[in-house]
Structure 1
């Protein structure tokens, strides 16, 4: 995995200030601009930092509406959490027909068509309209990360070919030129050559996984947990903690070869991880490397099963099936020796440190720590995990670096559940989307649906799911309601031309728990991409679209013609 580059210095020029590196959350924008020198310059109508699902959706929306776009990505794979992070889509039950933009469903259908066109599927699998290549239980479309890379690239290629889109992979944004409340340009470092590019545009979109442009541009943001006095949320704690972020996970892929000894060398940190007991506010079930965990809803110990041949493990969830990417049963006999699964389990959530607003060295230290946790978990599965037959370990387990596009089988980038969040024009609270809190503030009848936002630009749904945190807070997991995405949550309070398109929108620590999933990120990105196109066409700042009723109605009508949903069906 490429090292993450954080600049910790602040370089001053005679004409102003260049922002670089982490900044405090109440940072003010510089009043003068800095002129970048000795770097190649590129110009576009909008620059998008981050090639995840939000960034790609924003690029598609802006390009199809006539804008010239530059899209940067820190790794060599676009697709974000579903590709470079290796996490199959977490979705709701209605995803095949509604509850996400039409373009997201097109992306999902293209995944299926890719398999039907290129893979030797069985006749039964090929005939399924809702093919799930891995038949994983977590998603209706569990698939290999690189297939998403291929499909998203295919969707972007017409715009790349026509010159509307410039895609810069392995480029990291490391500085910004800001004057007053406007971003003038950002600097991208080529991680392969150390060459720098200065990217100019009237609009900038932060679709990075951690909200990296916010500190670089001096945009006001918050991190961690808000207090009950700050938000009034039912499940908020009494004391705020800006450092309390959900665990991240460095996912990895593996398959199983019966009768083969694939046991790796004993990991250097195995003694630590094999005896580690998570220290939480509510007691964990036992050691981290055991087939149990704290039930997210009740926090009571809950047993899990594991069988790499896909066999049933009684009433317990078989972790092998949970995020299985390839089910060999869907393919012609002999195509695969066994299934392929990705490990994103309670056992490899990393609680030992924070990735937000830390130095490059601290960031890398914890990613390396997560890698050691993974290797220890994998070695434990090979050598000590209890088998249904009374034995121990599955020596045939094999790391699949080719699936993740890496040498060691680990994902290219950690799965980030929580990022910096803008101080927005409007903040989504638990009372707007949480089922119990909604009933308390709106009454039993009104509390059956989420808040109706007059400025809705999208829809989404997922239960509020907060994984254990780096500050020792155990799971927070409870019901929510199908919700709308308000435009006000996509608008920074002060900055004029910087917009969020990932997990960095105006939510709280709690509501991020249902806004952080794949289709919601896509919906946010597509709405932001269309907002930029609309604002440019009308020659108004993005916030004016929300402030002026006639513009808002026109914008909502327009995005609906392109397949965005602003409301859930009634009934």
Structure 2
């Protein structure tokens, strides 16, 4: 028996045992509902639901009920067929992650890679493809089953399968439990009632949130709603959601295994927008097992097919689907998929399946490699497709805080920390703002009876720049009004744009784990989750539960790039960072634990301690003490010390900044931005009361750059008498716009890699020159600048989004103000953003 067969047999055995136990526990009369009492109810066997249940169990919640609508556990990893595991990524697929894998996600990945090694000759990552880890869905499902097993055996977690939400038990604004109905006639009893002190909605479509009366949203957010820089002007059409996809798992066969031609097949479904996808790309881009790429094992190739051709848009639907929907309920075809009933969604799902199978035939017809690729039978479904579609976007919870694009953008650029680092952080993440095609475009005009393609609407498209290293606030798990309910999976409090970057395998597990920790602390202390963000002691309990789990891997709540959860001092470093005791700046995304603790670094830590209200402690620094040593020692001194309560300046507005606590992303910090740039590094020109006559104000930019009056744009052109300024040689190809939100004076620049000279006609005499060097999108080093005969920048380095400003007085004697950038030898880029030159009276 092969390893995969053993996995399948073990899974089948566990299912049979579960069904036997279920039959023994419950009354034989199927018409009489089973009633269960619980401390915590988790709805949904998704990756998020499993993580929530396990985290709550590890933190001492004794009676946990997990209800799932199917048998399969694991959501995207398994039931949705996403065997190529997508995770935190800064800006490209390069085999690395910006934040080390951590928490229950790390446990799941390690278990998957261990099973892979057993199946594939010691190779943990057999896909040999773009993502880091791949796994057959059946393997991932067994990992989630094993994750729950110890807690099910101890009966701390009770699991019920094949039940979907019927209604919520609501008392006023409090959710007291959920009523379920069986999804098939074979499941007995056919009704299940779970009464619980707290409920977590980790379902695919936010079923409990909808049933509870909690507010929710879905689809496009208009720019006016949240002020997001890249949001469209309107929210039309309201049915525009991220597409669903029925993935395929294909397994190589010894001989051809041809799929019959579907009656609705038309090549025009697949040969337009995405016709560039060739055989090699289709075969390798999401391969799960590269059977010929390793000498350690001999195995059939196994592929995941999850390409744009089978993305199924939801903004409009084919005529046949519309007719069938309208037969079920008049007007339902105008609703979003989220608002439909399960039966109505199944109508849409069936058409999405037909579309995927059309593409299977198309692959075999056009690409010889696919003629031997058969649909895997591991799902046990009649059509051999996964039991669920890949759900990229569910409803969005109207939460105590809605996370917006401008909050998660990197402060000065994507490699930096996010602009707003919430004080009630419960996990960290980073990814691109990434929309799959959400628009259905009919190949024959407006004829919705024929072929169509999945296309992009506006700038809702792949990879539109990454977020910064962001943290997720507890408040985005908590409904605005309803009590006793928390969100998980993709039912979270964020905008559509933010949700496009926070929907991956690891992020969904983290959201569930965080929700489980919040529920545990809420139940333990008899306090509503909505109040915890203003209570440092209870927030600390959540951090402790996530950072020091019983028998699990710590979760990276603060997004350091270079501290692994298994490293010595990880917990201490995380705890100090979360309490803002490390004096971090926006670019300090690496802790550098083995660097010697310098005097300036320890002074920053001491200042942070004093500012936070902690007692000043002895740090014990000598010439060999590392930052890790200091962190461990400091945390050992502080962890038993009560967290100082922040000073509240106003009853409803703690920091008295005019933003009510209920609406303030930073309730104890002025404003909404976590970081401040020093004036000499912020790239903002000095605020002169009024530019005197003859002032020179130049914005160095590209031809596409915006004008910021009273500045005049220089776009690298040669000096001209008409303009009165310019370069000694044409540098128009040496201009850049970074596309940040820093404004035209900081976003663009002209640069030189060697040495170049810029001149401007001015009167002779004394001039005061203000100049800014730097790059909004990259680090730069080795920058040199001379104004007239004075060197004002020598071998200057600037971090991404951090600038070097200088001011000097010079004497002009030849009628031209002269700037010399760079050195003849080169070696680095000198980037100039702007110049202000003022005559000195």
Q: Return the TM-score normalized by structure 1.
A: 0.79
Q: Which of 211, 226, 229 is matched with 1:231 structurally? A: 226
State the shift of 1:445 in Å: 11
Matched, 1:213 2:179: no
Matched, 1:134 2:107: no
> d(CA) in 1 for partners of 2:38 and 2:439?
39
Instruction: Report how many aligned residue pairs link the two structures.
Output: 479
Which structure: larger Rg? Answer: 2
Q: 1:555 to 1:379 in 2, by over 3 A?
A: closer
2:73 corresponds to? 78
> d(CA) in 1 for partners of 2:556 and 2:256?
51
> d(CA) in 1 for partners of 2:42 and 2:341?
23
> d(CA) in 2 for partners of 1:350 and 1:540?
43
Q: Which of 259, 269, 278 is matched with 1:264 structurally? A: 259
Matched, 1:60 2:65: no
> d(CA) in 1 for partners of 2:342 and 2:380?
23
State the shift of 1:136 in Å: 2.8
Q: Contact 2:220/2:496 (CA < 8 Å) preserved in 1?
A: yes
Q: How do 1:37-56 and structure 2 match up within 5 A?
A: 38-56=32-50
Matched, 1:478 2:464: yes
Q: 1:421 to 1:95 in 2, by over 3 A?
A: farther
Q: 1:394 to 1:84 in 2, by over 3 A?
A: closer
> d(CA) in 1 for partners of 2:201 and 2:303?
31
State the shift of 1:115 in Å: 2.6
Q: 1:380 to 1:92 in 2, by over 3 A?
A: same
Q: How do 1:40-439 and structure 2 match up within 5 A?
A: 40-67=34-61, 68-87=63-82, 88-92=84-88, 98-117=99-118, 119=119, 121-122=120-121, 126=122, 131-137=124-130, 139-192=131-184, 193=186, 195-241=190-236, 242-257=238-253, 260-271=255-266, 274-276=267-269, 288-289=270-271, 293=274, 303-307=276-280, 318-329=281-292, 336=299, 338-351=300-313, 352-353=316-317, 354-383=336-365, 385=366, 394-400=370-376, 402-435=377-410, 439=412
Q: Contact 1:57/1:525 (CA < 8 Å) preserved in 2?
A: yes
Matched, 1:458 2:442: no
State the shift of 1:334 in Å: 8.0
1:509 corresponds to? 496
Q: How do 1:529-568 and structure 2 match up within 5 A?
A: 529-562=516-549, 563-568=554-559
Deviations 1:479-519 (A, max 9, x none): 22221111111111111111011111111111001111111
Q: Which moved more, 1:345-354 or 1:41-50?
A: 345-354
State the shift of 1:355 in Å: 2.4
Q: Which moved more, 1:455-464 or 1:553-562?
A: 553-562
> d(CA) in 1 for partners of 2:66 and 2:527?
23
Q: Which moved more, 1:470-479 or 1:482-491?
A: 470-479
State the shift of 1:543 in Å: 1.3
5+ long unaligned stretches in structure 2: 1-30, 90-94, 318-335, 442-455, 561-588, 591-841
Deviations 1:26-66 (A, max 9, x none): xxxxxxxxxxx941101111010111111010011011122
Q: Contact 1:245/1:471 (CA < 8 Å) preserved in 2?
A: no
> d(CA) in 2 for partners of 1:366 and 1:254?
23
Q: Contact 1:289/1:377 (CA < 8 Å) preserved in 2?
A: no
State the shift of 1:522 in Å: 0.8
Q: Which moved more, 1:475-484 or 1:514-523?
A: 475-484
> d(CA) in 2 for partners of 1:447 and 1:113?
33
Q: Contact 2:246/2:356 (CA < 8 Å) preserved in 1?
A: yes
State the shift of 1:109 in Å: 0.6
State the shift of 1:85 in Å: 0.4
Q: 1:394 to 1:204 in 2, by over 3 A?
A: closer
What SS class does the counterpart of residue 304 from structure 2 fall into? Answer: strand
> d(CA) in 2 for partners of 1:396 and 1:235?
44
Q: Contact 1:89/1:142 (CA < 8 Å) preserved in 2?
A: yes
Q: Contact 1:99/1:460 (CA < 8 Å) preserved in 2?
A: no
Q: 1:340 to 1:500 in 2, by over 3 A?
A: same
> d(CA) in 2 for partners of 1:175 and 1:564?
34
5+ long unaligned stretches in structure 1: 1-36, 277-287, 294-301, 308-317, 388-392
Q: 1:261 to 1:491 in 2, by over 3 A?
A: same
Q: 1:151 to 1:95 in 2, by over 3 A?
A: farther
Deviations 1:416-473 (A, max 9, x none): 11111111111111101235xx54xxxx799764421111110112111111114664
Q: 1:39 to 1:362 in 2, by over 3 A?
A: closer
> d(CA) in 1 for partners of 2:204 and 2:414?
38
> d(CA) in 1 for partners of 2:417 and 2:64?
41
Q: Contact 1:252/1:404 (CA < 8 Å) preserved in 2?
A: no
State the shift of 1:324 in Å: 1.2
Q: 1:379 to 1:399 in 2, by over 3 A?
A: same
Q: 1:504 to 1:179 in 2, by over 3 A?
A: same
Q: Which has the higher contact order (CA 8 A, sep 6+)?
A: 1
